[in-house]
Structure 1
Amino acid sequence: MEKVTARTLGAWVITVNPRKTDVASLLADGHAGGDWCVAPNYRSRLMAAGQPILLWVSNRSGVHPARGFWGVGTVLGPAVDMHDPDDPRLHVPTEITTLGEPVTAAECAGTAGLDRLEMLRSPQQSNPSVVTASEWSLLRARLERAPEAPGLL
């Protein structure tokens, strides 16, 4: 993938691992916002208030029933260093609404233009991942069908 720029960015993606996070509770709450950990790299330095962000639930272990996009929202501010010597990661504030039904990995893999999503090609990549501007256009059309989506996109 090319280096991410403001021009090529569609939306940021936070990946949640069900082996480390209680995904069922997170999704049942309807809200997955708050501060999410991101790697201290050039991508996290590009994160800014107002940019779209998606929640991707991984499922390589089979712990959660459906791998895919389970939330949509907005970045609320830049990624910041919490000055914790035990945690070198940055933290980015977000507002994310969870969806009752995901846009699944299988649906993405079977859709031209989404079949090369970074989460499908490189599932072990650290946060934040990214969808390109063209991928975001295709995803928005799918996300808009969710009852929770009005006003989020």
Structure 2
Amino acid sequence: MLTRDDVACWVLKSAVLPGEVDPDWQPRTEVETTRCVRRTYRVDLVTPGDPVLLWCSGRVAPGVHAVGTVVDTDPGGADVVVRWTRLADPVPRGALLSDPVARDAEVLRMPAGSNPSWLSPAQWAAVQALIPSAGRT
């Protein structure tokens, strides 16, 4: 079972690309969304201020498409409010699979797993190194 010390960053998965979530959401801009998560003990570990990644799955451009911060959680429910910044250049799944640390991330090992997934401190550092600084605000 995970603890807060295990998790450096949460990962929320979506089959929908950012431009389909909100057609006005341009790279390097922010949006705030409410995401549904599976009600498990993990939701109790999520707190405002935690970093989070938007992982888009599927055949078209799978990978990390946005970085964000947890704004709020539903104490008894299954919703997480996140403020996202869309990356100018998403980090492709292949780049993560090529990284010796990131490739062991749960989202890559168990892509059909439920939300939220997570990254360890070492995995989060590896993913941050792959995010072009021009893609962040």
Q: Name the TM tier (shorter chain).
A: 0.7 to 0.9
* SS of the residue 2:79 aligns to: strand
Rg: which structure is higher?
1
On the 8 A contact 2:18/2:65 being kept in 1, the answer is no
Q: CA deviation at 1:100?
A: 2.0
| 1:24 maps onto 2:6 in alignment | no
Match of residue 47 from structure 1: 46
More helix by share: 2
Q: TM-score, normalised by structure 1?
A: 0.79
CA deviations on 1:27-58 (whole Å, 9 max, x unpaired) are 75134531100011010111101100100000
Q: Which runs of 5+ in 1 are unaligned?
A: 83-89
Q: Are the structure 2 counterparts of residues 104 and 27 from structure 1 closer, same or farther at C-alpha, using a change threshold of 3 Å?
A: farther
Q: What secondary structure, in the 3-state scheme, does the structure 2 residue paired with 1:12 have?
A: strand
- RMSD of aligned Cα (Å): 1.8
Runs of 4 or more above 4 Å deviation: none
Q: How does 1:3-152 map to 2 (within 5 A)?
A: 3-18=1-16, 23-26=18-21, 29-30=25-26, 31-59=30-58, 62=59, 65-81=60-76, 90-143=78-131, 145-150=132-137
Q: How much has 1:146 moved relative to structure 2?
A: 3.8
Unaligned runs of 5+ in 2: none
2:114 match: secondary structure? coil
Question: How many residues of Structure 1 are paired with residues of Structure 2 in the alignment?
Answer: 133
1:47, 1:79 within 8 Å by CA — same for their partners in 2?
no
